[in-house]
Amino acid sequence: MTFRQFAYRNVIRNQRIYAAYFMASVCSVMVFFIYSMLMYHPKVENEFMIEIAFRGMYFAQIVLVLFMLFFLFYSMRAFLEARSKEFGILIHLGMERQQLNKLVRIETTIIGVASIIVGILFGFAFSKFFFMVIREILQISALPLYFSWKPFALTIATFLTLFIVVSYLSVWTIKDGELVHLLRGTDVAPKKKSYSKVSGIAGLLILACTYFTMVNIEKSNLLWLAIVVPPVMMIGTYLFFTDSVVMIIMWLRKSKWLYWRKYRLISWSEYATMVKENAKMFFISSLVSTLAFMAIGTLSSMSTFTHQYHQINPVSIIYTSKYQNSYEDAHIDQLTRELQEANLSYQLTALDIRTQTSANSSQKIEIIDEQQFNQMVRTLKLPTVQLGKGEAIFLPYSEDSYAKRKNMQIATVLEENHVPITIRGAYKTAIFSAEQLGTNVIILNTADFKKIIYNVPGSYESNYVNRVYAFNVGNWTETQYIGKELDQLMTNTYASNMESQLPFYYENTGIDYEILRSTFALILFIGILASAVFFLAAGSFIYFKLYATLPREQQQYTTLRQMGVTDREIRQLVNRQLIPQFFLPWGVAVLNSCFAFIGLQVFWYGVADISIFKTIVIMLGILTTVQLLYFYLIRWRYLAHLR
């Protein structure tokens, strides 16, 4: 038997032990491969939608690799720890440390190569299904299956490197202590639980403070709080797991009336040890889950958002032309042509805009003709306005401005043409943003509108708006390819802060929506991937830990059974032992993300009036169910091992 054969047989004949590690590796490879397949997809690579998302995907993949490195390393270490007795025997028989390292490296390589092959095979088999899911979520056109060497090369190269790095890293962690300790294996008694009271209280206080801040967040301080709160929350969570939990348990244990009750005696004492030992893992688990919750929650509120977005932006495409604009006809021609080529039905309304000075406030007012306005709102299926002679109505630019002006009544004179008017109330829906048409817009009855002949002096020089073209497109979400050049031009002038000098303004709701959506799609990708890998990591990690301490637990449960603990009670004890491992990091993550969502809600109010509460509750419900299923799976395996 050569050394290599020995290593090989070690793996093959110990399938049961290696199975968990192998499965974890296969799943990691599979997730990574499917992701690479998507990233290198010819359609995804070329299409506009992914512009931003594509760059983000690289970033996500780097995060993914880092996370997997950590995860593989962690499970490898737990796995080696479980085998320390075996290593003790080998060293006892005279194996050199060098040879032991080599053994571990060969074994890791065998498992690594095998899981890369199996993972890629499974990944390739499932990628079509995955593409279908992605297509549904992102509402993009079909993604056909394709074959390219790139995803294969990327996956193989990445994971070979990962496994080699992990194998070198993990041999360091084999305890180089006394042989006796190795032979005794994992049956090492738990250390005395030490904790710092200061850190424990600090952890609780910090968390309470961040929660309080999130509840009381306001639009004005949203930005800097969004930068400050997450790291503080992280510190709080870390301290919570390292010190606060142990502190609380120790404190509870002081009361014998609470503590000396049935299984509490056993389970509470175990919690303290368990939390202390796994604090870092719990911390990372809850951090990643929080991230995953946030991503999935934000995205799941997108469906609400689509609907709302249309309500805030009722006009699909807006083209605003100023006095100096010599491209007006050419641009409108081009837009209508593009819409026709794209087979999108549309209704176009042109609104003439007059700018006048109000005698009352000596401010500039933009004036829209009642007739033209009604023509436009009819296409938008909004109510029309009826104005008598001398009457006008405000056209608000936002909900807030509507609230302010709905009860206002102002009598004024349009100075340049001496037209006396009374502005009474406001139109119910905001149609144009302040950016598009200014903050002072009124709709004037047609008779008076015709009296406006003289413009404000300097209309040409100060670049006042002359005409607005409103396109109403039924399938407004599909307009992202219309007027791309104009949009590009707008973006460039914005970037150089020259937008006031441009003789026109162009806004395509479809493009804006698409950009928002693809940004969210990116978050979803990272979220789904992170949570998939996280589920895997957390579950497998708990499994490894259980596996490592199995002999000790077996003996403990035998003792308890002999002392007269019934099988049902033992199952309850196992529950009590497993539930916190599964649900403590989970619970903290849910709590953290709930409060983060409360903060986010304020942001949503800023962008759009959306309540994301319901979708978040549903989403948390589904994820909790998945976690519960996973818990039952692991418990089932564990109980089977204990018998």
Partner 1 sequence: MMAILSINDVTKVYEGKVTHRAINQLNFEVERGEFVAIMGPSGSGKTTLLNMISTVDRPTAGEVLVDGVNPQDLSKNELAYFRRRQLGFIFQDFNLLQTLNVEENIVLPLTLDGMKVEEMQKRVSEIAAHLDLESILQRLPNEISGGQAQKTAIGRALIHKPSLILADEPTGNLDSNSSKDVLELLGKINKRDQTTIVMVTHDPIAASYCDRVLFIKDGEFFNEIYRDDQRQTFFQRILNVLSLLGGHVGDFSSVRLS
Selected range binding partner 1 among 157-165, 166-174, 269-277, 616-624, rule: CB under 8 A: 269-277
State which residue, 190 or 425, has the beta carbon closest to partner 1. 190
| Distance, CA of 286 to CA of 131 (rounded, Å) | 29
Q: How far is the CB of 569 from partner 1 (least distance, A)?
A: 8
Region of residue 414 (left: phi > 0; alpha: psi -120 to 50; beta: else): beta
| Distance, CA of 105 to CA of 72 (rounded, Å) | 14
Q: How far is the CB of 195 from partner 1 (least distance, A)?
A: 15
Selected range binding partner 1 among 262-270, 406-414, 449-457, 617-625, rule: CB under 8 A: 262-270
Contact call for residue 257 and partner 1 (CB under 8 A): yes
Which residue of 107, 270, 369, 416 would you call a contact of partner 1, by CB under 8 A?
270
Contact call for residue 555 and partner 1 (CB under 8 A): yes
Selected range binding partner 1 among 210-218, 439-447, 526-534, 557-565, rule: CB under 8 A: 557-565
Q: Which amino acid is at 370?
A: E
Contact call for residue 562 and partner 1 (CB under 8 A): yes
Residues 138-167 that bind partner 1 (CB under 8 A): none
State which residue, 249 or 594, has the beta carbon closest to partner 1. 249
3-state secondary structure 366-389: EEEEHHHHHHHHHHCCCCCCCCCC
| Distance, CA of 68 to CA of 543 (rounded, Å) | 17
Q: How far is the CB of 561 from partner 1 (least distance, A)?
A: 7
SS3 399: helix
Say if strands 441-444 and 364-369 run parallel, antiparallel, or are unpaired: parallel
Residues 171-200 that bind partner 1 (CB under 8 A): 189-190, 192
Contact call for residue 564 and partner 1 (CB under 8 A): yes
Which residue of 164, 266, 342, 515 would you call a contact of partner 1, by CB under 8 A?
266
Contact call for residue 85 and partner 1 (CB under 8 A): no
Contact call for residue 256 and partner 1 (CB under 8 A): yes
Contact call for residue 89 and partner 1 (CB under 8 A): no
Q: Is the dihedral of CA 279, 281, 286, 287 positive or negative?
A: positive
Contact call for residue 551 and partner 1 (CB under 8 A): no
Q: Which amino acid is at 293?
A: F
Token pair, residue 259, equals 């503590």
Token pair, residue 597, equals 């969502």
State which residue, 77 or 276, has the beta carbon closest to partner 1. 276
Do 70 and 534 form a contact (C-beta atoms < 8 A)?
A: no
- C-alpha 218: how far from chain center: 22
Selected range binding partner 1 among 90-98, 357-365, 549-557, 579-587, rule: CB under 8 A: 549-557
Q: How far is the CB of 270 from partner 1 (least distance, A)?
A: 5
State which residue, 231 or 564, has the beta carbon closest to partner 1. 564
Residues in the interface with partner 1 (CB under 8 A) total 30
Nearest of 489, 516, 364, 351 to residue 431 by alpha carbon: 351
Selected range binding partner 1 among 47-55, 166-174, 241-249, 253-261, rule: CB under 8 A: 253-261
419-426: strand order across its sheet: 409-414, 419-426, 391-394, 441-444, 364-369, 346-357, 465-473, 317-322, 504-508
Degrees, nearest 5: CA angle 482-483-484:
95
Burial class (CB in 10 A: 0-12, 13-18, 19+), 474: exposed
Catalog residues that contact partner 1 under the rule CB under 8 A. Answer: 189-190, 192, 256-257, 260-266, 269-270, 272-273, 552, 555-556, 558-559, 561-569
